[in-house]
Structures are given as C-alpha cells and as structure tokens.
Structure 1
Amino acid sequence: MAMDAKIKTAAILVIGDEILSGRTKDRNVGFIADYLTQLGIDLKEVRIVSDDMEAIIDAVNALRAQYDYVFTTGGIGPTHDDITADAVAAAFGVGIDHDPRAMAILEAHYAKMPGADFNDARKRMARIPFGADLIENKVSSAPGFRLGNVHVMAGVPSVMQAMMDAIAPTLEAGSQIESVTIDTGLGEGIVAGRLGEVQKAHPGVVIGSYPYIRDDLFATNIVLRSRDQKALMAAKLAVEALIEELKDQQQKQF
C-alpha cells in the first residue's frame, strides 16, 4: 500500500478547571481534529487537565515525547490562574519573562483602544518562555507561542481558530485520509461478526461501525478510512457485498 514514509501524529491538551467542572463546554477539540485530518495529520490522543502546574507539566512532557505535534488550549490569559505559559517553560526547563515582541504587539493593540490600560494583568499575556516562537493572533492580538513541538493556543474558540490558521503553514503534513460512509440499513449486531472478517482482509483500511436510530429504525453506518484510494475502494466493495449477502439471508428467513 502506498503510504507516507512517516505519518505525522498529534495530541491535544485542553487546560482549564472550567472545562472539567462543566461550566465551559469545550468547542476546540472537534475543530482541531477536523483541521488536522484535512492536513493529513493523525490525532492520536486528547487529554484534559486542571489549572494545576504539575498536572500541566506532566501532560506536556508525556505528550511531546510521544507525538510529533502537541496543541494546547487555554490558560494563557491575563488572570492569576492562567499558568500554561509558566508550566510549558518548566516542562522544557527554560526561563520565562515578558517577551519584547509580544509586549510591542500588545502595547500597540491597547493603544488603539480608548480608555484601555495596558496594565500588569494584560502584560501577563506577553510572558513567553525563552526560545519560543510567537503564534499570531489576528482576533485579539495576544499571541500564542510554539516551543519545540508544542503549540500553545488560547482557549477562546475564535482566537484558537485564528491561531490554527497561523500554525498550519509550519506543520509538516501528510496525505489526507479519505473516508466512505455506507448506510447498511441493518442492525449492528447483524453486521458486526462478519465485519471483522472484512477488516482482517483489508488491513490498510480502518473500518468503524456507528449505530443510529432513525424513524424507529435501529441500524448502523459503516465508515471506512484510508490514505490509499485503491485499498479504500476494495474494502468498500467488500462491505457492500457483505451487506447484500446479509440482507438476502434476512429475506430468506421471512
């Protein structure tokens, strides 16, 4: 099967007590997952941790060692509990201070806002670990940053999305994953056993079963995913043949 020499992998680290308490509903993971899929990067893991220094440090170090890219969201605002930048600096063993580049960006931003004071709280958003590159923020100016393979972004969805647009050109992408969805019209229990046989026969294709209820019909969709178009089409034909066989068997029983 024709495949990339090395498929790039990624993880998302969501940071924030408000996510774990349910007070704020995460809207970022799905967006990043879709974005990475379009780039041909495989998202392998998502973690959520609280605003706890050691928890963030441990998660950052574990994920950056295991995956090609790590994307964090949350914890880089102006308040006392926004500690992500400090935690990432600690994870890499580097210092952190007000970055002249970030300070200039924020100073210019607040200068355009009548009555807005570029106070100490807002200056916290300019604290960047030593050696990090800035991630542009076209929405509210306060930058994110990239240190090693870790990309640190805001938790506000519109800002995070703008940062992903800025990050994308810097990522080494692979071939996109193609997918095919087949509505079987059959219950998952009817399809499941034989579907395993198809999966074994087509190892280059990931085959998933997703039950649904529609108009009192309990049935399942089969989703096939692969980077190899020929392998995908071969597996699709095999699944379609299996469905026809199972439907014929059902009709003979009634």
Structure 2
Amino acid sequence: MKETWISERRMIQLPGLTIDRHISAPNELEFPGCKYHLLCILLSDHNQQKMTRIGEQESQKSQAKGDFWICPAKMSGIWSWNSTDESLTFVIDPLFLSRMAEEVGELNESKVELLSTVNAHDPQIEAIARLFQAEFDTGGLGGHLYAESLIQVLIVHLLRQYCAFSPKIKPDVGSMPNNRLQPVFDYIHSYLDRPLLLAELAEISGISQYYFCRLFKQSMGVAPYQYVLQQRMEKAKELLHQRKYAIAEIALLVGCADQSRFTRHFKKYVGVTPRMFLSKK
C-alpha cells in the first residue's frame, strides 16, 4: 500500500524498532492491522482529527500537541483527519518487546499484551519523543548508542504503564564487576572508529541490554553512550596533538560520520572547536 498522504519522511532504524518522523496530509484511512506495534505521537499544533478508532477504543476529538495513540500488532484501526500534521511513530517488533519484558521482569511472552490507546497524553513519552525529534534535527548527533538508550527507557515505560500485565522490575544488584567491565572497555577502545551497538557491548559483558545500561551507569557514573563519546573525544585530542591528520580524517578515525558532526561533539565536550584547540598548542 502506497502511503500517498505522507509528504515527507525520515527514519532511524534500530534493532527491533524503527522511528518514523513524517508529515501527513488530510486523509481517511482504514488500517487492516500489521505485524508490528505502533505508537504515534503528534509533534505539531492545530490538529483537526475527525475520528481515531483502534480496536474497541474510539475518539472523535482533535489531538493536542504531544497526544499519542497505540495500535497493537494485528489490530485494525480507522483514522480520519482534516489537517496537515507532523508525527513521530515508533514501529515496534513484538519479539523485541517480548524479549525486553523477559529481561526486565521475567514476563512470559504470552503475557506481553500491549493495550490499544487513543488520544492519550504522557509526559514521559512526550519527553522521549522530543529527544528523538532533536536527533532528527541534528542528523543523529547522539548516535546509535544514544538512540538505543532512549528506546530502553521507552520500552520499560510501555511495559509498566500500557501492558495488560505489568512486569515486576528486578532490583539492581550493585555495580558491574571489573571482569565484566574491562572487556567492554577494551572493545570500545579498539573500535572507536565505527558505530557501536548496545547489543554488542551487552553481549561482551554477558548481561542483558537493560541491566547492562543500568549497571554500567552505576559503575561509571555515565551511560554507555556518554562514555563512548568521551573516549572518542579523548582520542580526537590525542590525534590533534600529533598533527599528522586533517580534521576531516580525525572525524572518521573517532567514528563521526562527517567533520561538522565531529566539530559539534568536540566543542560540546572540550569547549572549543578542533581548529581552535590546534591553534592553542
């Protein structure tokens, strides 16, 4: 089915989930359902919604900026609207949600039932959506690790608040032991020149992704994505000191896709641009 009502679209694709930011023209849509869970939050003002129906849930009110709906996998829906809207949709693989439920609270796959929801407002979901909106606006400045960390927070919140059976979150067990941390450090330092994924780091530590994030932060005082960014910038400082590489080359050597993105990261971390850093030496 060609989505002719979509006039502009950008996506961030992650393991088990896609974030889809799009602008949609007025339309009436009968949706037969799909194999993914959908969570869609409105980013723009002046919505003129005529009807939203998901399963047995129905609303004929316009949505406010920050309102969202949830359409569980295989559930049909009807949408009708008269406005041009900007939205952010999280397309969630049910297997990913089930795996997270098992990791977080030992919730059996058969118990993972996402609830249909229409015209709802949740400050935490809105805050996460705004952070992803900023990622789109900056060209993915935070990188995959940052995006994956945000998704961890979103999924746990959905499991707690929008599932028929809420998992019992297992308590943390203190910091991560050094014999699990050191291989992660070694791996990060060996591959600073390429994107790093949360699944890779968690697998090396021998801990689930959810608890890896929590225990890493308790051990290091920063989230994994923050630690990796710090190491990239420290490596960049070393390479700048050597004066053997152009700034564009250093950007690639520390895993930044382009010089502009590298400069923004470097200035935020060091306080000056790479060129200014060089001029002071």
TM-score (normalizing by structure 2) = 0.27
Ranked by relative contact order (alpha carbons within 8 Å, sequence separation 6 or more), the top structure is 1
